[in-house]
Structure 1
């Protein structure tokens, strides 16, 4: 909460009964450094845990802050964010409607309900029907906006609660004397078309749905209705089209993904290593300008080459495992091209790439492995805590972090003073400059003055520039 001014802190914490709001704000500001304190206060007011912050982070990037706050305020998980990611064609261009549908969701069921719901339903009725759904059942009751009409008691039995009466032109059928009637909105009647059986104005409802004339069974009517709606339901076509590229990705796509990954690996390796190597070599190594530039080029090339090779090997192994699962095992692969076909594929591909590329020792490789190891360990602990494993789930990060910092710094200082040769050379050089050279001074007062760069930084910070 230290980054919030007093007004935002009060707004976040007023009338709260726990520390959930403060923890939410802290998590939110750590994950999204560019967001203002006011947004954090609005999102986390009344929060019971960290989930509103997680939901905000998982929300679609093109949603503005107000929509994300409306979606995720008091969320209990990231389910609202997952819900709005679903393809619902009738409200695809209406983010506010999707937010109204998915706000407070505990699963993606509201979106599934909306996809199953009648396409003829307007936006307001769709949201009323599905926003609190725990399954697709509410939409299954309505079926393509069909309304069973008869006695009042029958309406209450068969019409979902809060659904309005049929309005506008409709096509009615199923008219046994016992008042079992079905009415279709006219646009939905026109929706059920096919090249083989084009509806005509004089067609009966039974003919329209491919039923025997005079069919009275409600179950048969519903099945036929749902089957015909499935043929032409726009949302279901969207879902199918969205799934097809992931299922039918060709080998050409896999090769292109590998080549693109190799390019991105070399690009990122150069981008990261070149400035780092230049600073470290020019500051801490001796030699001519030519020798220093050669060192920068050598380190940058090695980093770029290895990162490009690793990405290529990783994606190639994923492609092989994907083909094996699809063709040798005959199993469906739902993930996109270039992605793991099963959760363990990533570990296998990463292990093979790690052995082939990073398994050869060099200062660059060792530095990268050490960099990843510390972050991977932290991530593993977070996963174990999130899944409820003890003792990880029993402690908060903010409580454990001071202990981790204490142990790490105690250990590294003991190693430096007692076993310095076991430390990485670059770390050892840095520590020698900090702790050994500070014990010797030759030039009097000059040795105790800050450098010009440090002085400039302090002045700029003081002036708040």
Structure 2
């Protein structure tokens, strides 16, 4: 019985008529797995480096951040792929504006809630978008494609702006970035013994 069910299940998952709907399930699965892989190590390191509290509070914060990241990716994948599937069923094709609309709706519904995880994901994407749009503008000859290396100038500009903001308008930066920069640039100016000069921070 179990062997015949396995054969039937394999037939169903490979049936082309079911593939678009099964892709929604696979998308949810991949969103959860990817969210856990990305967020868990990040939350683990950042929590133990910069967060105060008991061990239980730290563990709870790590799992909460991981759960939020994984759940949000899974939800977004489901919304995005569902809307594109509806467009395909309705119009027999997916046009570029269908992709924009699907991602816009998913972004609003899932990543529009302001929390630390969503803020980090959106900021991460924004930086990648800016670099990608610059490359696309060069490909389309909107901006000149210079032979001189651009990346050193990009790095210089990014670091000049972020350190200026940190030193003079720190409150507008994301809390985790404030913590990281405080640790690197301000805490390194404070010590009163050899121990908290070389062994530990404070």
Whether TM exceeds 0.5 here: the answer is yes
> Does 1:402 find its partner at 2:155?
no
1:420 equivalent in structure 2: 170
Deviation at residue 345 of structure 1 after TM alignment: 2.2
Count of aligned pairs: 186
Give 1:54-203 correspondences, 5 Å limit. none
Cα deviation, 1:389-429, whole Å, max 9, x if unaligned, reads: 22xx3324x62222222221111111111111011100001
CA–CA distance in 2 between the matches of 1:249 and 1:349? 23
Question: What residue number does 1:320 align with?
Answer: 86
- 1:290 aligns to 2:41 (yes or no): no
Deviation by residue 1:14-70 (Cα, 9 ceiling, x = unmatched): xxxxxxxxxxxxxxxxxxxxxxxxxxxxxxxxxxxxxxxxxxxxxxxxxxxxxxxxx
Distance 1:405 1:276 in 2: 23
Give the aligned partner of residue 15 of structure 1: none
Give the structure 2 partner of residue 430 of structure 1: 180
What's the CA shift string for 1:107-136, capped at 9, x where partnerless?
xxxxxxxxxxxxxxxxxxxxxxxxxxxxxx
Task: State the Cα distance separating 1:300 from its structure 2 match.
Answer: 0.4
1:3-402 correspondence runs (5 A): 249-250=16-17, 252-326=18-92, 333=93, 341-390=94-143, 393-396=144-147, 399-402=149-152
Larger Rg: 1
Cα distance between partner residues in 1 of 2:86 and 2:64: 33
Q: Which has the higher contact order (CA 8 A, sep 6+)?
A: 2
Q: CA deviation at 1:342?
A: 2.1
In the alignment, structure 1 segments of 5+ residues that lack a partner are: 1-247, 327-332, 334-340, 452-465
Q: For structure 2, which runs of at least 5 residues remain unmatched after alignment?
A: 1-14
Question: C-alpha displacement at 1:449, in angstroms?
Answer: 3.4
The CA RMSD measured in Å over matched residues stands at 1.7
Higher helix residue share: 2
Q: Distance in 1 between matches of 2:45 and 2:95?
A: 42
Give the Cα separation in 2 of the matches to 1:312 and 1:268.
Answer: 14
* Residue range with higher mean Cα deviation, 408-417 or 419-428: 408-417
Aligned to 2:190: 440
Distance 2:145 2:53 in 1: 53
